[in-house]
Structure 1
Amino acid sequence: MRINVLQHTPNEGPGMIEDWANTHGFDLYVYHPYQFGHLPSAAQTDMLVILGGPMSPNDDLPWISQERQLIKELLTQNKPLFGVCFGAQQITKTLGYPVTKAPAKEVGWAPVYRQTTTVRGIPLKANVLHWHEEMFEIPAHAELLFSSDWVRNQGFVLNHRVIGLQFHLEPRRNNVREMMVNDYPYLIGSVIHQTAQEIVDYPIPRQNRQMLFQLLDYINS
């Protein structure tokens, strides 16, 4: 299986999604449309991962619109889609739903709470990495998957083939360090009130890797 990953900033890569792909023996290709302007075709894609980034789906950039065209084709073909932060927002925007300012800016480690048992084995509560100030709406026929203390719409699952998360499960320890040293000014205004050092020092919960793998397995089953 060929997994195409759309990466939108140097410091937010696939992380443990790559581990999942390697575990299954899948081929993983990483595209950087914000820099090179290239995207895979739907025919080249067995599964699409759309990662986070500092931009908004509301920005008027040609590659953002081109991404949504690819997402639309893959939705029509019922191929697996996994969106993280900006990536999840891109999916909902493609489906015709707005992306708006969230009730609170969340940057740092804080809990999310499971809202459905559709994906089996997901814990009731998980401490995850947040890095956002916008949010998506839950599409029609999708289920609310996670909520946090400040932002209700933290995740959704649609048609057994699409999952979008507003937060991050994928970063390894070094990925968190990379995000922090390059984007630490983004902490200003966060309701979580953690310092850069506190975020870097926070031990990544082992269950986050398990959750990520379960979610990815679900949309590929």
Structure 2
Amino acid sequence: MTTYILKNIDREGPGLIAEYLKEKGKSFQVIEPDALVDFTLPSDLEALIILGGPASANDQTEDMVHKIDIAREAMNQNLKVLGICLGMQIMTKAKEGKVVPLGKTERAFRDSEGNWNPLYLLDQGQDNPLFSNISNTIPVFHLHGETIVPNEQIQWLGQGADCQYQALSFGEKAYGFQCHLELTLDMLKAWLTEDPDLVDLDHDQIIKDYLSVEEVYRTQCFCLLDNFFNHI
């Protein structure tokens, strides 16, 4: 069985997710952005992971419609699906939820007041098996200007300071995060130079913030992935 990872832009790769899969000896394949239009759910799929990117799930392009259809098909088949940032918004659209402007752009590790902006688990998040043995407060990186409006098919699991809907469940085996849990230091350095929403920030401070939480960041991500692959 193989985990298929869908990239939406070259710079937003699987990061810690790939490191986890390699460490556990799990088969995985990364589907590059230019190959997504031809992607269909394979018969050997263990899990589908949809990464982030600068596009909007509201885009009416053939590419975006196809990705929403893929997410819908996987969830309808009760397969394991994990969405990160744009990936979560694609899953939301697949479940007939809404994607709307946040009113601001969340960027890096801190909120608009300069305070740390972690993911806070709600009671229902703390009780969910995806978060077994994970702290109720999780350091995460933010990079988005849209948020979602859930419906009865979507359960709210965790929130942040500036954006309520940071962690969601779309069913027993499908989860999404508005924030980034997969970030490595190399990815962060690339984003800081390539992403237009980050170029004007204090890069030294962001890297310092990352290094201060790097160990727990990796540990929490690996624990969450263990739960995702083995306990749901």
1:18 aligns with 2:18: yes
Matched with 1:214 is 223
Q: Any idea what SS the aligned residue of 1:104 has?
A: strand
Within 1, Cα distance between the matches of 2:5 and 2:77? 18
Matched with 1:196 is 203
Matched with 1:160 is 172
Kept in 1, the 8 Å contact 2:155–2:169? The answer is yes
Shift of 1:139: 4.1
Residue by residue, what CA displacement relative to the aligned partner does 1:149-194 show, whole Å, maximum 9, x if unpaired? Answer: 11110111233311100010101111100111111x31389xxxx5
1:114 aligns with 2:121: yes
Provide the aligned C-alpha RMSD in A: 2.0
Within 2, Cα distance between the matches of 1:30 and 1:73? 19
Kept in 2, the 8 Å contact 1:142–1:157? The answer is yes
Kept in 1, the 8 Å contact 2:8–2:33? The answer is yes
Kept in 1, the 8 Å contact 2:141–2:181? The answer is yes
2:138 to 110, 126, 132: 126
Moved over 4 A (4+): none
Within 2, Cα distance between the matches of 1:56 and 1:178? 21
Kept in 1, the 8 Å contact 2:98–2:150? The answer is no
Within 1, Cα distance between the matches of 2:147 and 2:16? 23
Gaps of 5+ in 2: 110-116
Matched with 1:74 is 74
Q: What is the TM-score when the length of structure 2 is the normalising length?
A: 0.85
Question: 1:98-109 counterparts in 2 under 5 A?
Answer: 98-109=98-109
Within 2, Cα distance between the matches of 1:108 and 1:73? 32
Kept in 2, the 8 Å contact 1:104–1:151? The answer is no
Shift of 1:69: 1.4
